A = this chain, B = another copy of it.
Amino acid sequence: MLPADLPGTARDALLAPLVDHHCHGVRRDDLSRAQFELLIGDGGNPAPPGTTHFDTPFGAAVRRWCAPLLDLEPHAPPAVYLARRAELGAGEVNRRLLAGAGVVAFLVDSSPDDTSAGSSAGSSEETSDGAFDGIFGLTGGVSGDLDVLSAAEMGRHGGAAADEIVRIERIERDVAGTAEIAVDYLDTLGEELAARAARAVGLKTVIGTVCGLDVDPAPPARGAVIAAANRRLADPKETLTDPFLLRHLLWSAVDVARERGLPLQFQAGFGGVASGASCGAAEPHRTDPSRLSAFAGALQPLGVPVILLHCFPFHRQAAYLAGVFPHVYVDVGLALPYTAAASARVLDELLELAPFHKLLFSSGCRALAETGYLGALYYRQALGAALATRLGTGEWSAADAARIAHMIGSGNARRVYRL
């Protein structure tokens, strides 16, 4: 679906394999209609009586673009789509959709999806605190890991390489469950971060989702951290919301990232927020990446790349930060498959200010392989439209257009993640 008048070089660059630098493992199990609807929806709730989550931009996109990969006509009715999906089985569907994305490497947050209502819906069937899962995906490790594909499996299903991104809040959750005294807990936390980072290409934090991106740029005082650690160990099953401990965790991750030359991903904007009403999650306006600028500035001298994920509807702010800070990178992740038919404007808004060498592609793929496929499809359509416009008005040369498409699609990611 690329513009007909694109020159071949630009077309080739758009169709070249992508590095999907931020995605989650997709569900491995066959899904009921109720489960699938919850995974389409954004808030972890069933659609109100008389409605369906298929009546969303994303749902319409699934019927339009994913149906043909399942041998159906475009715009297949939801029931037909789900029947065919069940018929083929989750494994085959995942293979078709992930391979269809045209991705050469997946960088996978292999923790259970921390934002998808879907994952919440799924795991809340097995776990008692589904409400938490909806936002933080902090299901018990086992059940959580069991129901989504690992990084390696994502690669196998998609015919691509795969590497791990370590979500630091998940590591804290695991450590909190085992430690007994504050000092051990803090030591183990540092050791675990280092150990996991040694096998990963990047780190990721969802702190913006928990308490907002306006993070105090100063490391917390040791005393406050110890005190918070003691409170934490008294209730290790809860989602961590203590700001001192979250900042300590973040700075521990920064130390590891600096030592190993790894980038640090920050969830920002709505891709990183479920209901601002539950679980002390930050209200949506506090996920504006502008609010991270003081903290990002503190990381600049350390040379730790900061990668802003999703960002919508604050992607103009994110693009500005990517221009101001030499170490800040940006994508619109999930915003593309979720805004679907309107995604071209969203990407074009990101292109307004962001340096071309600071833009990355990710699908933000979560729970459903449809997200990964649609993320790549809408990225190529949206960038294709942006290039066609700029070539049509003579703003860019064909050679620049092809070069920029290559940078955003894979070149920048290879550089910053050292792939």
Contacts and interface: CB of A to CB of B under 8 A. Distances in A.
A277 B324 CA distance: 10
A320 B50 contact: no
Given A340-B395, A342-B348, A290 B285 contact: yes
A84 interface: no
Interface stretch (A6-14, A38-46, A87-95, A151-159): A38-46
Interface in A338-365: 338-343, 345-346, 348-349, 351-357
Given A313-B317, A338-B353, A64 B325 contact: no
Given A60-B400, A352-B346, A393-B341, A326 B42 contact: no
A20 interface: no
Contacts of A351: 57, 341-342
A374 B51 CA distance: 30
B43 A323 contact: yes
Contacts of A220: none
A244 interface: no
Contact of A285 (B41, B288, B323): B288
Interface string A13-32: 00000000000000000000
Contact of A290 (B283, B312, B316): B283
Interface residues of A, number: 82
Contacts of A261: none
A64 B276 contact: no
A397 interface: yes
A75 interface: yes
B55 A357 contact: yes
Contacts of A341: 351, 389-390, 393, 395-396
Interface in A180-194: none
Contacts of A178: none
Contacts of A217: 277
A42 B346 contact: no
Interface string A262-297: 000000001001111110000111001011011111
Q: How many copies does the complex hold?
A: 3
Question: Most chain-B CB neighbours within 10 Å: which of A61, A75, A340, A355?
Answer: A355
Contacts of A340: 395
Contacts of A288: 285
A204 to B, nearest CB: 21
A227 interface: no
A48 interface: yes
Contacts of A275: 293, 297, 300, 324-325
Given A1-B393, A56-B323, A293-B283, A313 B313 contact: no
Contacts of A80: none
Interface string A98-114: 00000000000000000
Contacts of A298: 277
A146 to B, nearest CB: 27
A223 interface: no
A43 B353 contact: no
25 contacts: A42-B324, A46-B326, A51-B355, A55-B357, A56-B353, A56-B356, A57-B352, A74-B397, A75-B397, A75-B400, A214-B283, A217-B277, A275-B297, A277-B294, A277-B295, A277-B297, A277-B300, A284-B320, A285-B290, A312-B316, A341-B389, A341-B393, A341-B395, A342-B351, A345-B349
Given A42-B324, A341-B393, 12 more contacts: A47-B326, A57-B351, A74-B394, A75-B399, A275-B325, A276-B290, A276-B297, A283-B290, A283-B293, A285-B291, A312-B316, A341-B389
Sort A-B residue pairs by CB-CB distance and give the 7 closest, nearest first.
A277-B297, A276-B293, A43-B324, A284-B290, A313-B316, A51-B357, A341-B395
